[in-house]
Amino acid sequence: MKSLSGEVFDVLVIGGGITGCGVARDAAMRGLRVALVERDDFASGTSGRSSRLVHGGIRYLENAQFHLVRESIRERQTLLRIAPHLVKPLAFTWPVYRGARIGKVKLSAGLLLYDLMASGRSRRHSALDVAATLEREPALRADDLTGGAVYYDAATDDTRLTLANAIAAREHGAVVVNHARVTSLLRDGHRGTLATVVSDTTTREVRARVVVNATGIWGNDFSSGARSERKRGSKGIHIAVARERIGNRDALTLISPADGRVMFCLPAGANAIIGTTDTWTTESPESVQAGAADVDYLIRSANAYFPRAALTRDDVISSWAGIRPLASGGAARPGRVSREHSIATADGVITVTGGKLTTYRSMAAEIVDAVERAMRRKPRAATTDSVPLPGADREAAVMKLQRTDPGLAAALVPGLPYTGADLVHAVREEMATTLSDLLIRRTHLAFETRDHGQSVSARAAEIVAPLLGWSENVKSARLRAYAHDVERIFTITPG
Ligand SMILES: Cc1cc2nc3c(=O)[nH]c(=O)nc-3n(C[C@H](O)[C@H](O)[C@H](O)COP(=O)(O)OP(=O)(O)OC[C@H]3O[C@@H](n4cnc5c(N)ncnc54)[C@H](O)[C@@H]3O)c2cc1C
């Protein structure tokens, strides 16, 4: 917080989701003086609740959103190149059943177009007959299966992708602060904008020539100094179940028999993640939770494809919800609303709405162009598409810690890859300061265990307390705060 005072920043970015962190990296790489402020933690909002795909968006072809698909495919290739440690190719099997809304001919035509839009930069899809489909995914229902296809997109760790951008921004000189929120903006004539930034312990005034409001679904209207009327967004939930219960080998794209929507079943270590839903909501992004009806919808849909699994709610290891900030909407079903973004400038504040994780980098470039124009200078593109994102050496650094202190090498939870060394590294190098930062976002332990990391939170607190200077009282308060966050994020609400 201290580093925010005493200078005039070129740009203050409010919000540390993928949009804000991408903007901060791009602006810092252009040589601008940048401050980034995030009220909770990086990717604690929608950016940490995604399907974790960097994808061209095959389903957008149905809505003829060719521009978005072309941009997404290009960005997918860029991210595979600059962040191979975070964005990895993923093969999807798409099984087709008799009478399906998207039959074999339509699927082949769509995938051919998808390949053509990638202009040979991506592996081409292949059609599968029934035997080849079942060879890829033996647990699938065989009745009425007519064949399918395999095509290629990419998977990421949404939280780490966001964090890598925050760290890159910091490495390029940006002042990057989490756990502090902007409470008001005051336009100060030609001297720019004065922002009030509040953390648990202090309040600071920050002066910036231009402000980027990247608060997404929070939709703060800082001009009035208050939050505007709650924005409508599209709620999406996911559930995690043990992969051995479903039996999927790889990723699958499925059409829900309940309503014909495209959904995914994705491998995530020992678990499979099933998602997502797409329903309008005005719920608060801070407290949005998966509802029982949505959970049942995903279970029903998965069971239709994997009948031997006979999943029930008892199989759900965790479930969570996020809200998509959509740039437009009207009366359309949210699934049909474009994932493109909009950028609006008023009174020195540039507000961005909508977008996708996949296209964050090109969107950030567009926003920083608008920042430079607001500063009355000619935009100069940064090399964000060729400079690697940081973090490729993380694993080696964690292993070195484990060698130096073997006490940090044991798994925090048997069967999961997280150790004390991951926590120490996260505190020292990755701006983690709370147990939720550590167990929900720097590791995904909370998503991958039935008790959401509660049984190891005390041990985690013991490991990081000396690094963070926690007394016994602070440790207890941090454990209570963690239990509260777990309840806030992972409870399934009735209805
Ligand atoms: C269910 C679901 C699945 C999705 N799957 C995918 C996918 O697979 N691939 C893909 O490309 N996209 C996907 N998306 C879309 C993608 O996740 C979002 O477009 C993206 O994460 C939005 O990022 P953001 O930075 O705009 O918003 P957020 O991540 O919500 O960031 C906004 C940040 O602003 C902070 N903030 C709010 N108020 C203040 C304040 N006053 N001061 C400081 N900070 C503040 C919040 O704490 C928050 O961290 C999915 C979305 C959902 C909901």
- Listed in sequence order, the residues at least 6 apart from 138 whose beta carbon sits closer than 8 Å to its beta carbon are 247, 249
**Ligand 1 site-directed mutation target among 41, 76, 218, 340, most atoms within 8 Å of CB:** 218
> Is the Cβ–Cβ distance between 54 and 75 less than 8 Å?
yes
Ligand 1 pocket test: which of 19, 21, 50 has the largest number of ligand atoms within 8 Å of its C-beta? 50
> Phi and psi at residue 322, in whole multiples of 5°?
-140, 165
CA distances from 445 to 411, 431, 449 (A): 11, 18, 6
Ligand 1: residue whose CA is nearest its atom 42: 181
Cα 160 from Cα 137, distance rounded (Å): 29
How buried is 406 (Cβ within 10 angstroms: 0-12 exposed, 13-18 middle, 19+ buried)?
exposed
- CA–CA separation, 101 vs 479, rounded Å? 49
State the distance from the centre of ligand 1 to the C-alpha of 48, rounded, in angstroms. 7
Give the whole-angstrom CA distance, residue 175 versus residue 177: 7
Structure confidence at residue 122 (pLDDT): 85
| Cα gap 287→45, rounded to integer Å | 10
Q: Say what the pLDDT of residue 230 is.
A: 66
**Rounded distance from Cα 201 to ligand 1 centre (Å):** 26
- The answer to whether 24 and 33 are in contact (CB under 8 A) is no
Q: Pick the residue whose CA is nearest to atom 25 on ligand 1.
A: 17
CA–centroid distance, residue 324 to ligand 1 (Å): 7
Separation of alpha carbons 239 and 241, rounded Å: 7
Taking the centre of ligand 1 as the mean of its atom positions, its distance from the CA of residue 17, in whole angstroms, is: 5
Question: How many CA atoms, within 13 angstroms, populate the side-chain half-sphere of residue 229?
Answer: 1
Please name the amino acid found at residue 132: A
Residue with tokens 């509802």: 291
Q: How many CB atoms lie within 10 A of CB 308?
A: 11
Angstrom distance (rounded) from CA 160 to CA 12: 22
| Residue 14, phi then psi, degrees to nearest 5 | -105, 120
Alpha carbon of 380 to ligand 1 centroid (Å): 26
Cα–Cα dist 23/369, whole Å: 10
What are the residues facing 321 on neighbouring strands? Answer: 237
Q: Which residues line ligand 1 (CB under 6 A)?
A: 14-20, 37-40, 44-47, 49-53, 55, 181-182, 214-218, 220, 236, 276, 322-325, 355-358
CA angle 280, 285, 287 (to 5 degrees): 110
- Phi, psi of 118, deg, nearest 5: -85, -5
pLDDT at 330: 64
Ligand 1 center to residue 414 CA distance, Å?
A: 31
The DSSP secondary-structure symbol of 416 reads S
Residues for the chain: how many in total? Answer: 495
Please state at what angle helix 66-82 crosses helix 104-117, rounded to 10 degrees.
60
- Check if the beta carbon of residue 291 is closer than 8 Å to that of residue 274: no
Q: How far apart are CA 152 and CA 111, in angstroms?
A: 10
Q: What are phi and psi of 446, to 5 degrees?
A: -65, -30
Do residues 161 and 356 touch, judged by C-beta distance below 8 A?
no
Longest dimension (CA), the chain: 70
Ligand 1: centre distance to CA 47 (Å) = 4
357 Cα–ligand 1 center, Å: 8
For residue 227, the model assigns a pLDDT of: 52
Instruction: Dump strand ranges (E) for 339-421.
Output: 341-346, 349-354
Ligand 1 pocket mutation pick from 44, 175, 356, 436 by most atoms within 8 angstroms of CB = 356
From 25, 286, 324, the mutation candidate for ligand 1 (largest count of ligand atoms within 8 A of CB) is 324
Question: How confident is the chain (495 residues) per 10-residue block, as mean pLDDT?
Answer: 87 98 98 98 98 93 89 96 98 97 95 92 94 98 98 98 98 98 91 94 95 93 60 93 95 94 95 95 95 97 97 98 82 70 90 94 97 96 98 98 97 97 98 98 98 98 98 98 98 92
Which atom of ligand 1 is found nearest the CA of 52?
Answer: 8
What is the pLDDT, as a whole number, of residue 456?
A: 98
**Helices and strands in the chain: count of H runs, count of E runs:** 14, 20
Q: Specify burial of residue 98 (Cβ count, 10 A radius: 0-12, 13-18, 19+).
A: exposed
Tokens of 236: 């999406």
pLDDT at 223: 62
Task: Give the residue, by CA position, lying nearest to ligand 1 atom 27.
Answer: 216
Whose CA is closest to 252, among 270, 279, 277, 272?
A: 272
Strand (E) or helix (H) holding 337 = none
C-alpha 225/C-alpha 360 separation (Å) is 27
Residue nearest to atom 9 of ligand 1 (CA): 53
- Of 359, 441, 387, nearest in space to 28 by CA: 387
User: What is the number of the ligand 1 atom nearest to the C-alpha of 47?
Assistant: 21
Which atom, in ligand 1's list, is nearest to the CA of 321? 1
Distance from Cα 285 to the centre of ligand 1, integer Å: 10
User: What pairs with residue 318 in β-bridges?
Assistant: 240
Token match 């801070």: residue? 286
Tokens of residue 455, six digits = 């049984």
Task: Name the one residue in this structure whose structure tokens are 């407290």.
Answer: 287
CA of 407 to the centre of ligand 1 (A): 36
Best of 357, 359, 363 for a ligand 1 pocket test (most atoms within 8 Å of beta carbon): 357
Cα–Cα distances (Å) from 357 to 55, 91, 206, in that order, read: 9, 19, 28
| Protein residue closest via CA to atom 32 of ligand 1 | 215
Q: Give the residue, by CA position, lying nearest to ligand 1 atom 15.
A: 356
d(CA 149, CA 371): 44
In this structure, which residue's CA is closest to atom 10 in ligand 1? 357
**Atom 48 of ligand 1, residue of closest alpha carbon:** 45
Two tokens at 211? 């402000």
